[in-house]
Chains A and B, each alone.
Chain A
Amino acid sequence: MAGLELLSDQGYRLDGRKATELRKVQARTSVFAQADGSAYLEQGNTKALAVVYGPHETRGSRSKSLHDRAVINCQFSMATFSTAERKRRPHGDRKSSEMSLHLKQTFEAAVLTELYPRSQIDIYVKILQADGGNYSACVNAATLALVDAGIPMRDYVCACTAGFVEDTPLADLCHAEESGGGTSLALALLPRSGNIALLQMDARLHQDHLDALIEAAMTACKGLSKVLDDVVRQHLEEVSVLTRD
């Protein structure tokens, strides 16, 4: 988009943040009573809702169950009202299928599936408002939901996007920055070990800048993990206060 500077001379972005600043993250767990685990997460203007059912017996075809691990089943969809133009096909199209696949692979790596052979864990994520960083908001919300459901994981899975403008890496892109045609990298990280669960990048970037970009994304994820940790601990305090005499 011509005329829209992604990074001004003073170092401020379109919404007034600095280059490495994350958007405000607010989250709540246990929003649904009937689900085993649920979470609602807002990352700036992006709003995601995640619901977890499981571990339960494999529904549907018996052939899908694995004898030594649990099967993780993910479904990603965007609400029809989530984008500026009404989305005509909320799920079933190629982009949603790809996102569901990536979510499934991310969590298969993070969840200790060997503890639940022949079972199935369902994760449903819905984007209520899309303003950039859809995949990252989904992953963060799903992490909180899994923690809420009490499913053991290796570590928090935190995801964040990063971009690159004029030799400066930007953390946590909003929709205008993503669709502006510049680089955007989505990274899902397990913060304690520094393992990258998923890496996805679009648009051109020179190879020399890759290091800086991944570094920026990893720092942002580590920052996010602290926020998610705070949310979980706070929720735990609330619950224990209520159940204490």
Chain B
Amino acid sequence: MRDTPLSNCERRFLLKAIEEKKRLDGRQTYDYRNIKITFGTDYGCCIVELGRTRVLCQVSCELVPPKDSRPTEGIMFFNLELSPMASPAFEPNRQSELLVMLNRQLERCLRNSKCIDTESLCVVSGEKVWQIRVDVHVLNHDGNLMDAASIAAISALSHFRRPDVAIQGRDITVFSPEERDPIPLSIYHMPICVSFAFFLQGSYLLVDPCEQEERVKDGLLVIAMNKHREICSIQSSGGIMLLKDQVLRCSKIASVKVSEITELINKALENDKKIRKEGGKFGFAESMPKERITTLKREEAPVEMADVKETANEIVNRTETPTEVVSSPVLVAMGTAQVGEGIVNSWGLDEDEEDEPQTEDTKTDDVMVISDSEEEEVVILNEEAQKSTKLSKRK
């Protein structure tokens, strides 16, 4: 499917509004949209809504042998997928530029910045380490996928708990969550990406562009920072010309935004922890807003099983028993069996034509033995079964 293109008048309208410092949804230049973070029932699953952009992230772990170059470190694997649900332009299994860029930026932001202690993921040095797999699915594309993906990834990693392991010599026992409480990952810091979109040859910039603003942008600058004011990665793309002051100004704005967002993530994590401890209900089902008219919930309800057995028996008895379709097996040679006669040989060889009338006469239920072997005795299996079916048929 192709995405609807942006018309020229829409483009002009957007650019003119940006010149007048106005945005489509009424935000200020440096404002973020509403961020909502919800966690699922199992550890390591979270959905982030940035305005209308929705991203799902799931963290899972597996024991694997480590890389040869780093035998004492665990492995982090990132995979971001643009679901075809997110936009009509996204097709499954297509390596588009956007996908490559998002994946690389996510990897750089989270892996190169060493936010997770990979040494603690080692179980047996050189043999078994934990591989942490982060799957990010983009569910709805309304601009600024990079920020939403990075928030989702770091929230899910902070929420995730890996199973506990015990090592005795060379045996590794992995405990299930019921036996021993799972352990959280050791996270040093939380890098979060902030995107700046540049318009009109770099004269105007906007934070957190929505989808239409992204379509008219000239270029993008993504700065990943953590709340300790450390820059984890900078990436400029789109072929814009930047000046050094612009970059420095953006980094200052980014530090403010990142501290706000980190606050939000920590609050959401704490809320979730509190609810789990108190034994309340958690998960996506609970986070569905109840007061909207587009949502509906229904409690558990029993289903009547009263006449089920009778109706079922009726149906079974009513249907006719199918005719005996399966003919008895034919032994062609030792160790083989053939059910049915197969397709009629149409090669027209003389030997087979002589054989055919013979087989038609002897249409008995006995197992036919067509074997040339004179050396071994051919054993007919299920002889008693054969006899008993003969008897029952006679009855």
Binding site for B on A (CB under 8 A): 85, 94-95, 97-98, 101-102, 105-106, 108-109, 181, 185, 190, 193-208, 210-211, 214-215, 218
Contact = CB atoms under 8 A, between A and B. Distances in A.
Interface in B229-271: 229-244, 247-248, 251-252, 255
Given A194-B244, A205-B230, A215-B244, A200 B236 contact: yes
B225 interface: yes
23 contacts: A98-B104, A105-B237, A105-B239, A108-B239, A109-B239, A194-B243, A196-B247, A200-B234, A200-B235, A200-B236, A201-B231, A202-B108, A202-B112, A203-B232, A203-B233, A204-B226, A204-B230, A204-B231, A206-B229, A206-B231, A207-B231, A210-B248, A214-B247
B393 to A, nearest CB: 68
Contacts of A105: 219, 237-239
Contact of B244 (A101, A203, A218): A218
A97 B236 CA distance: 16
B95 interface: yes
Interface of B: 69, 95, 97, 100-101, 103-104, 108, 112-114, 219, 221, 225-226, 229-244, 247-248, 251-252, 255
B233 to A, nearest CB: 6
Q: Is the interface of B mostly helix, strand, loop or mixed?
A: mixed
Contact of A101 (B101, B112, B113, B225): B101
A199 B247 contact: yes
Contacts of B237: 101-102, 105, 198
Q: Across the A-B interface, give the 4 residue pairs with the lowest CB-CB distance, nearest first.
A: A195-B241, A109-B239, A105-B239, A201-B234
Nearest to B103: A94
B58 to A, nearest CB: 21
A203 B221 CA distance: 17
A211 B243 CA distance: 12
B241 A190 contact: yes
Nearest to B226: A204
Given A206-B229, A210-B248, A97 B95 contact: yes
Contacts of B219: 105
B113 A203 contact: yes
Given A196-B242, A207-B225, A207-B251, 18 more contacts: A97-B95, A98-B100, A101-B97, A105-B219, A106-B239, A109-B240, A190-B241, A194-B243, A195-B241, A197-B239, A198-B236, A199-B234, A203-B233, A204-B232, A206-B229, A207-B229, A208-B229, A210-B247
Contacts of A97: 95, 97, 100
Given A94-B100, A105-B239, A196-B243, A205 B231 contact: yes
A106 B240 CA distance: 8
Nearest to B246: A196
A202 B100 contact: no
Contact of A210 (B112, B231, B238, B239): B231
Which among B114, B237, B238 has the greatest number of chain A C-beta atoms within 10 A?
B237
B66 to A, nearest CB: 16
B251 A210 contact: yes
A199 B239 CA distance: 10
Given A202-B108, A202-B233, A207 B255 contact: yes
A239 to B, nearest CB: 31
A98 B104 CA distance: 7
Contacts of B252: 207
Contact of A214 (B97, B226, B244): B244
Contacts of A193: 241
A94 B104 contact: yes
A196 B100 contact: no
Which among B69, B100, B233, B241 has the greatest number of chain A C-beta atoms within 10 A?
B241
Nearest to A218: B244
Contacts of B229: 206-208
Contacts of B243: 194-196
A190 B239 CA distance: 12
B244 A196 contact: yes
Contacts of B232: 203-204
B100 A197 contact: no
A156 to B, nearest CB: 14
Contacts of B95: 97
